[in-house]
Structure 1
Amino acid sequence: MSQNPAFDSSIPVLTEVVLDPLVLEPVPGSGPAESAAPAAEPAPVQEAAPDWDELERRIAERVVQQLQSQIDAVVRGALAATNEQIRQGVRQAVEQVVAQQVAAVQFGQK
């Protein structure tokens, strides 16, 4: 069996990014041992609401860290290609100017 060609094993899947030890910590009062034991006095269980902004920030940081080397390589490649295009453009422009000046000097002397 062949792997999907669009699949890149160096890119993390969502579960690798989201599974964070801080996110997976059990909320007090929600574990199976605690819920099976009868409560001595009725205390309201307050579960902490997830901080979605913090979770999003951590996921974004983790994705950027894991992909940074690939991002750097793409940027370096794009800069190298752009640099080569600029170098060729400047070289052609200089050659044209020199050729025009040489032609002007040659025709001016005759």
Structure 2
Amino acid sequence: MGSTSLEFEQNALNRFNMMSNGPDGFYWRRHQSPPPPPPPPPPPFGAWSLRHEKSTFLKKSVIPCWKGKLKAQKEIMTPKISMARVSPLSWLQDSVMKNQQEEARNSAWFQKFKLLSQT
């Protein structure tokens, strides 16, 4: 009727073995990461040489052009930098002088206009 403890242990062990690495190994198939995909086949030689030519072409044409752009950009930026070095006081004096000149010009024009409108 009842099974002995030894038989019970044996059955449990058999069941565990069946579950972990049984005939279909379903436990491991479900709980392990899938095998890595096979590496892609190497490209044919012609394709490699074409790609190589493309990369050298890019190196020859694009990089010097980019260097030139950078140089031009630096040249454009230098006057702005030198402008910043002008002392604020002299800049202020210049702007005040310009404003005074403009005001004088405007007032002279206004005087002429007044004279013309009176006649």
TM-score, normalising length: structure 2: 0.34
Which one scores higher on RCO, CA 8 angstroms, separation ≥ 6? Answer: 1
Task: Tell which structure's C-alpha radius of gyration is larger.
Answer: 2
Q: Which one has the bigger helix percentage?
A: 2
